[in-house]
Chains A and B, each alone.
Chain A
């Protein structure tokens, strides 16, 4: 044991030592365990024993029923840019997000600029829809026509997966108050979608954007999360959901998450998410977060230095 005088003083998190979102682990799911910090490690009490969680490379931590987190563990998760997401059986999602791996607000300001002008916003929306059609979309369609095509695309895919896996598909239906009443395929989709939303959220934060400023979706704190998740939902979640629903058996939500991990690795989803985000919001693909000095003060003539007293500036 080292005495207090021998203890290491841990400085602020160096952002360079955090793996980039695209290189990290997608998600971990825990239930009936307690998260604590002990000697700088994040520990989960698991029925098998004490499990240390490699949170620095983790995109999102999904906490299921029966979990609790201590204050210091939550701070450590936030410092290392790990998103935390509470998922309940009723498909209830409740987010807590760390700071992400970016301390600068340049990207957020760019997102706000693109979002604020109807013309640039429509450009991003069209681009988002176009990404889902491998053959592309003709440029002369109205947004209403595009939405119609998207609806048809989704319906066709549902029918195709349903036929391929022999799972009857009627409609997407779930009752938030009663998880057990949902059909297996709807449970499977709910559990897979929760994972995908968590990842989209983590990707948005790790790039330094805001989850609230959505382009297609609007009016919710997580609008942009829904935007990003919708780009991949049919391709990522549905094949796995239908495959597991066809197998039958219980614990379908757990099986979906397990199969989803391999599927996402195959699709290189994390890498694609991060790249697509930067491409959509026409950003440079250099994401070397620098440790930030003091911020600046805005001025129409050009920003001035912050963190100093400007008392003498006025002649």
Chain B
């Protein structure tokens, strides 16, 4: 099973995806396709997304049981903590507090 989300992409791309997947909510698609089709769909949205954002979630044989792919600029980025995927958000609160949590400079030079 795969889940994909699209934001701010051309309408024709959204229509294209509905040929494979069901649009559950605006920009949220779900379906069951093979690994090959999954990768081709991902290439397709990345190619046509322009300035928009897209994500893809799919079942994988890792500890989490799934994997995440993201494309496009946004406040959320993917972080990998030693093989575990999590999402980092750079929101206003983070920006204001960031100064306090920066590792000290001298660590870099040791």
Partner-B contacts on A (CB < 8 A): 25-26, 28-30, 32-34, 38, 45-54, 66, 254, 257-258, 261-262, 264-265
Nearest CB on B from A73, distance (A): 14
Nearest B residue to A31 via CB reads: B103
Cα A101 to Cα B94 in complex, Å, equals 32
B93 at the interface (CB under 8 A from A): yes
Cα A26 to Cα B63 in complex, Å, equals 8
Contact A33 B93 (CB under 8 A): no
Contact B89 A49 (CB under 8 A): yes
By a CB distance below 8 angstroms, the chain A residues around B89 are 49-52
Main secondary structure of the interface of B (DSSP, over half): mixed
Cα A288 to Cα B104 in complex, Å, equals 46
Nearest CB on A from B104, distance (A): 8
Quick one: which of B64, B84, B98, B103 has the most chain A CB within 10 A? B84
Partner-A contacts on B (CB < 8 A): 62-64, 75-77, 79, 81-84, 86-91, 93-94, 97-98, 100-103, 107
Contact A49 B81 (CB under 8 A): no
A53-B86, A257-B82 are contacts. A48–B77 as well, Cβ < 8 Å?
yes
Contacts A/B (CB < 8 Å), 24 sampled: A25-B84, A26-B63, A28-B82, A33-B101, A34-B101, A45-B98, A46-B88, A47-B103, A48-B88, A49-B88, A49-B91, A50-B89, A50-B90, A50-B91, A50-B93, A51-B81, A51-B88, A52-B89, A66-B103, A66-B107, A254-B82, A258-B83, A262-B63, A265-B62
Chain A to chain B: the 10 pairs with minimum beta-carbon distance, closest first: A49-B88, A48-B88, A49-B90, A45-B101, A32-B103, A261-B83, A258-B82, A50-B94, A265-B63, A48-B79
By a CB distance below 8 angstroms, the chain B residues around A26 are 63
Known: A48-B90, A254-B82, A261-B84. 7 other contacts (CB 8 A): A48-B77, A49-B76, A49-B88, A50-B88, A51-B87, A51-B89, A262-B83
Contact A51 B86 (CB under 8 A): yes
Nearest B residue to A270 via CB reads: B63
Contact B86 A45 (CB under 8 A): no
